[in-house]
Amino acid sequence: MSRIQVNHIKQALDNLFTDKIDLTDIKAINPEEIKKQFYSRALAAYALHIIASSSIEDSANSITDDYNDNGIDAIYYDEQQNILYLVQSKKIDDGTGEPDTGEMRKFTSGITELIEEKYERFNKKVQNKLAIIKEAFGESQIKLNIILSYTGKGFAIHNQRIINDLVAFLNESTEWAFFSDFNLKSMHDSLNTILAGKPIESEISLSNWGTIDEPYNAYYGQISAYDLAVLWKNNRKKLFAENIRNFIGLSDINSGILRTIENEPENFIYFNNGVTILCKSIKPLPARTVGKTTGLFDCKSLSIINGAQTVGSLGIALDKFPDKLQSAKVFVRLIPLENSPENFGNRITISSNTQNKIEKRDFVTLDQEQQRLKTELLLSGINYHYKRTDEVIPFDENNCSLEEATVALACASKETAHSVTAKREIGRLWDDISKVPYKDLFNEQLKVHKLWRCIKIYRAVSKFLSELRSNKTSRERAVYTYGNYFILHVVINKVPAEILMNPVADFDSFFNNNLSNIIESATQKTYELAESAYPTALIHQLFRNYTKCKDLREKIDELI
């Protein structure tokens, strides 16, 4: 049976990627060897097509498989979702084995070297993707999806340990790396939906359910979080085909969903807004329905049009703590469209996604101190943008944003932890406008001249580091990229309090004549101490680690 499934996969890869995968670098003359290389590369491309929902062309162009690829066969960056995908692929003809342990170690080592910016160790195909790789790692909220795509059944313990150790190492300071086991079963399941172009059909079980009869039929109730997660895993982003947006990855909001599932799954239904599912038709199955306690519904052509972030997060939770999902319920609406007016589905989609789009930072607008700061800054000719907007904000002498203000104030704090939080997950600083850490940053004692001066220092440090990064070693360049908020934290705390706090102090003179020396010294000492104190640490994670950053700050204070 496994060999038959492998043949099905081979046929699909032929249909999708023939003449689209670059094979010009392959030196083999034997047609069978060339075909073997094609399937190996096509497996990597197919994994991206399914898991990342990349196009066939983008998936094919993501291939990096060649000599000196360091085990990384494909690289793809989803800019919208800030997710970098790294893929290794192996074709196993009989469908029963697993990748070689040596290849697994090569893959994990290659990932580490890529993160450490040791680009010179990679082949030309990887070198050609350096622009997107650098862009990805330059994003503070980047997520890393490590994918193993292989036509086998699963891992033995030694290979699983290799992957687990890598993910644990990468997530030492903050959870940003995730592993996807794209095995033969996952591939074959995806063929039944994505490749065949079939609409999604599923039987959905609801507890404590009810109906809406007028003017149009609908059903509502509670669905198991586990069932929703499985539905997502089997269909991925196709599930959100009619939604305004797909699953955006692990943002601060979606990380909160995971925390609730992990810590208090029984309360999930109270904290979550629920999910709306549109279907072409819905047929109750009376023989398998018990009153209003449990109902089973046969849903045809279903699509989730509201709740993509909830369902995608539950899908990730399925790999992390599946047992917890069994205890969680989600409120769901099932709406059949077969007897509804024309365009009714579009109206539901638009309304569901525009009447309740609230993010953590939006609650900041409820703080009267924000309006005070905006008013006082306007008196100085500076427009403070603290409300979310679709307008492009110019970062000049007359404009600044809530994000800039938050980072600048977090780094100005004596508490190193605040600057680390800004780097790890800025949304945590806006969690609750009535409590710390938000109140440590924004309060009635905050004066606008201090805020604006901190923002100007922030911009000066950013400009300096941006110019410094070119022509540096990989480790040094990484420090200037990922240690930017830590360096800003050191710099602002070396500026005399009189300069920051006194409204009549000659800040401009200090800014023009003295600040550059502080920035240069803080930058150099940060690099030297990071290398001497933590020579084997991943720089990307070092500056997201509270304990290590506190230690570095204490060491730097002794030197400058």
Say whether 247 sits in a helix, a strand or coil.
Answer: coil
* CA neighbours closer than 13 Å in the CB half-sphere of residue 428: 15
> Cα–Cα distance between 525 and 494 in angstroms, integer?
13
Helix (H) or strand (E) holding 93: none
pLDDT of 157 > 80? The answer is: yes
Write the pLDDT tens digit of every residue in 490-499. Answer: 999 999 999 9
pLDDT of residue 448: 95
pLDDT of 336 > 50? The answer is: yes
User: Is the Cβ–Cβ distance between 67 and 126 less than 8 Å?
Assistant: no
Burial profile 328-345: b = 16 or more Cβ within 10 angstroms, e = fewer: bbbbbbbbbbeebeeeeb
Rg (CA), the chain: 26
- If you average pLDDT over residues 278-295, what whole number do you get? 83
**Long-range Cβ pairs for the range 462-470 (8 Å, 24+):** 462/488, 464/516, 464/519, 464/520, 464/523, 465/523, 468/523
> Cα–Cα distance between 378 and 191 in angstroms, integer?
58
Say whether 86 sits in a helix, a strand or coil.
Answer: strand
Report how far apart, in Å, the C-alpha atoms of 242 and of each of 302, 303, 349, 519 are.
Answer: 9, 6, 8, 50
Closest by alpha carbon to 74, among 182, 188, 185, 163? 182
Helix (H) or strand (E) holding 132: helix 130-138
> Cα–Cα distance between 355 and 531 in angstroms, integer?
50
Task: Give burial (CB, 10 Å; 0-12/13-18/19+) of 371.
Answer: middle
Closest by alpha carbon to 454, among 424, 415, 410, 422? 410
> Do β-strands 281-284 and 218-224 pair in parallel, antiparallel, or remain unpaired?
unpaired
Write the pLDDT tens digit of every residue in 237-282. Answer: 677 766 545 554 555 555 678 888 889 999 999 988 899 999 999 9
> Cα–Cα distance between 91 and 97 in angstroms, integer?
10
Report the percentage of the chain scoring pLDDT > 90: 45
Taking the CA atoms of residue 480, residue 484, residue 488 and residue 491 in that order, the dihedral angle to the nearest 10 degrees is: -10
Helix (H) or strand (E) holding 100: none
Helix (H) or strand (E) holding 333: strand 329-336
Helix (H) or strand (E) holding 477: helix 474-482
> Cα–Cα distance between 267 and 330 in angstroms, integer?
10
Give pTM, 2 decimals.
Answer: 0.65
The residue with greater pLDDT, 269 or 175, is 269
Helix (H) or strand (E) holding 298: strand 294-300
pLDDT of residue 55: 87
- The Cβ of residue 78 has, within 10 Å, a number of other Cβ atoms equal to 20
pLDDT of 148 > 70? The answer is: yes
The residue with greater pLDDT, 258 or 441, is 441
Write the pLDDT tens digit of every residue in 18-60. Answer: 999 988 888 767 888 888 889 999 999 999 988 888 889 999 9
pLDDT of residue 356: 45
User: Is the Cβ–Cβ distance between 299 and 202 less than 8 Å?
Assistant: yes
Q: Which of 76-90, 135-149, 290-304, 522-536 has the highest mean pLDDT?
A: 522-536
> Do β-strands 143-150 and 177-182 pair in parallel, antiparallel, or remain unpaired?
parallel
pLDDT of residue 354: 55
Say whether 150 sits in a helix, a strand or coil.
Answer: strand
Report how far apart, in Å, the C-alpha atoms of 129 and of each of 76, 119, 136, 432 are.
Answer: 9, 10, 11, 40
> Cα–Cα distance between 457 and 510 in angstroms, integer?
11
pLDDT of residue 391: 66
> Cα–Cα distance between 437 and 160 in angstroms, integer?
38
pLDDT of 1 > 60? The answer is: no
> Cα–Cα distance between 374 and 98 in angstroms, integer?
59
